[in-house]
Structure 1
Amino acid sequence: MRTVETTVARYLDAVDTALPGFVEMLYLTGSVALGAYQPGHSDIDTVIVTSRRPTSGDLAALAAVHADMPPEPHLDGVYLDRGTFFQQPADRRVVPFVVDGRFRADEPCGDLHPVSWLLLTRYGQAVRGPAVSDLGLTVDHDEVRRFNLDNLTTYWQPLAAGARAVVGAVPDDVPAEATRVGAEGVAWCVLGPARLHFTLAHGDVVAKTGVAGYLAEILPAYGPLADRALRWRRGEPVALTAADVRAAADSVDAVVADALRRWG
């Protein structure tokens, strides 16, 4: 965690120098908050609360700050002025945000959704500002349910179909890295939808490192693949193949079908 502390401290020093008094609060979310940060794999996810709505000059200064940050780990996050923050927007509106270390100010922010607020409310860690428990944030579990079901059917199912089409008639033993899906795509498909299923089932958030066991519980046939995908993410020498791409796509469909049966 020393890298996380160092990176966040460097960011705060830089932004306070460029824009004194602008950043009022900063909260860690994502894998850091969930205790699942993996050096070399994880980004540092944040929610940053500002003292005012940013001007064009503020945006230019923020872009310069983030351009000067180290390439790894990325310090990602969303910027919300104080008034907007306490409205808890979950509509993916256009606000300044950082993804993969790149600052953006004129695009919809994909991280403004109900699960992000659930994660912040349950696990967010204050670096600057009051403890999350003192902020008076709330969670609308019906909104979380609707969002997750919609995400499963509009994002994950089409993604699985696309992955299946990519491998087509590719022989099973061809390495996943030789396809456009890649090993990263296998891990993404196997572990991602199961996290949404976990939230639907428990009203809570689980890290990728903990979801393999959950998938093995609800759909045992995909447990071994989830374990291999997780070990690949940890950097172990696990060979993922075109057959795993197909199995990952099948696992997405199975998770979606089970979620719709239970909560749709």
Structure 2
Amino acid sequence: MSKTFALPAEVSALTHKYLEAVDSALPGFVELLYVTGSAALGAWQPPHSDIDTVIVTSREITTKDFAVLARIHEGMPKSPKLDGVYLDRRAFDARVADRRAVPFVVDGQFRTDKPCGELTPILWLLLRRYGQAVRGPAVDALGLVDDPEAVRRYNLENLRSFWQPLAEDVRTHVRELAEDAPADPEMMAWMMLGPARLHYTLETGSIVSKAGAATYVCERFPEWAGLAQKAASWREGATVAFVSADAIAAAASIDVIAENAWKNYGA
């Protein structure tokens, strides 16, 4: 059975506001809507958390629909942002997870012109374990099943092909900066907590929130406990400053986490 948490009031309010708008503009178009992400994980942290959704349509999405949906999303509040992936019923029933180009919303911006980076095995694991129905039957009635091998392959490849090159880019970028030069806190939190979430899933088969990822780093990779705790504190609203030396350390943590994952869970 999926594990459920009560959705925060602002999440319920904004998803219903979206449904009212889309039902008025495109009657019968949105068949199902599920909340995933931090709100479904019981880890909602405004102002940093977005509302992540899976939106299932009753028919294939046309070019004319694109224009209508773009206007609807443009009219949504800027905070919290309503993000999500649009799938027609055929794609939803097929559980597609190949990052194909489907309509999606990221940072509140409706996109149709690029592959959807959220359309991965992790999306389906998150939906099955924690998804909250705003429209449609409860997740347990959808017949979703876990695919541990797909999740394993995706997480390992993501660590190696995305996160480790990012770590090298960070090292290159800050090489000429003073060690005490300011570093972007949002980027720092992303670097410290993102790879740890993938490692957690490889180790446990489940999903952890960003806040939970900080605790996981402290337990599993204690040499970076202080930096992980700073990242978590920033997400909780504390005034926390990061510097270039922290960015170098975060990049090192990415490499260690990735190599540990491949050593323990690679083919």
TM-score, with normalisation over the residues of structure 1?
Answer: 0.96
What is aligned with 1:156? 163
Instruction: Identify the match of residue 193 of structure 1 among 181, 192, 195.
Output: 195
SS for the counterpart of 1:139 is coil
Match of 2:100 in 1: 93
Q: CA deviation at 1:3?
A: 1.5
Match for residue 135 of structure 1? 142
Aligned-residue offset at 1:2: 1.9
Moved more, 234-243 or 127-136: 234-243
State how far apart, in whole Å, the 1-side matches of 2:188 and 2:239 are. 15
| Aligned twin of 1:179 | none
Pairs within 5 Å for 1:222-237:
222-237=224-239
The letter of the residue matching 2:102 is V
Alignment-derived partner of residue 206 in structure 1: 208
Alignment gaps of 5+ in structure 2: 1-7
Alignment partner of 1:137: what SS? Answer: coil
**What is the Cα deviation at residue 85 of structure 1?**
0.2
Residue aligned with 1:39, SS? coil
Q: Supply the distance in 2 between the matched residues of 1:5 and 1:107 (Cα, whole angstroms).
A: 29
Note the C-alpha offset of 1:106: 2.6
Q: Which runs of 5+ in 1 are unaligned?
A: 177-181
CA deviation profile, 1:174-205 (whole Å, cap 9, x unmatched): 221xxxxx222111111110000000001110
The one of 179, 183, 186 equivalent to 2:185 is 183
For the residue of structure 1 that corresponds to 2:242, the secondary structure is coil
Matches within 5 A, 1:1-264: 1-176=8-183, 182-264=184-266
Amino acid at match of 2:263: R
- Give, in angstroms, the shift of residue 169 of structure 1: 3.8
Secondary structure of 1:151's partner? helix
What is the root-mean-square deviation of aligned Cα atoms in Å?
1.0
- Mapped partners of 1:29, 1:217: distance in 2: 26
**More deviation, 212-221/142-151:** 212-221
Matches of 2:79 and 2:91 in 1, distance apart?
29
Counting matched residue pairs gives: 259
Deviations 1:56-112 (A, max 9, x none): 222221111111111111101011111110100000111111111111123211111
Q: Is the 8 A contact 1:27 1:128 kept in 2?
A: yes
* C-alpha distance in 2 between matches for 1:206 and 1:33: 11
Task: Tell me which stretches of 4 or more aligned residues in structure 1 moved more than 3 Å.
Answer: none
SS in 2 for 1:46: strand
**Structure 1 residue 130, shift from structure 2 partner:** 0.5
> 1: distance between equivalents of 2:27 and 2:108?
22
2:46 corresponds to which letter in structure 1?
Answer: P
3-state SS of 2:214 partner: helix
Residues 86 and 137 of structure 1 are in contact (CA less than 8 Å); yes or no, is this contact kept in structure 2?
no
CA drift at 1:113:
0.3
For 2:77 and 2:210, the matched residues in 1 are separated by 25
**Equivalent pair of 2:45/2:235 in contact (CA under 8 Å):** no
Q: What fraction of aligned residue pairs are identical, expressed as a percent?
A: 56
Q: Is the 8 A contact 2:193 2:210 kept in 1?
A: yes
| Partner Cα distance (2:120, 2:105) in 1 | 15
**2:5 corresponds to:** none
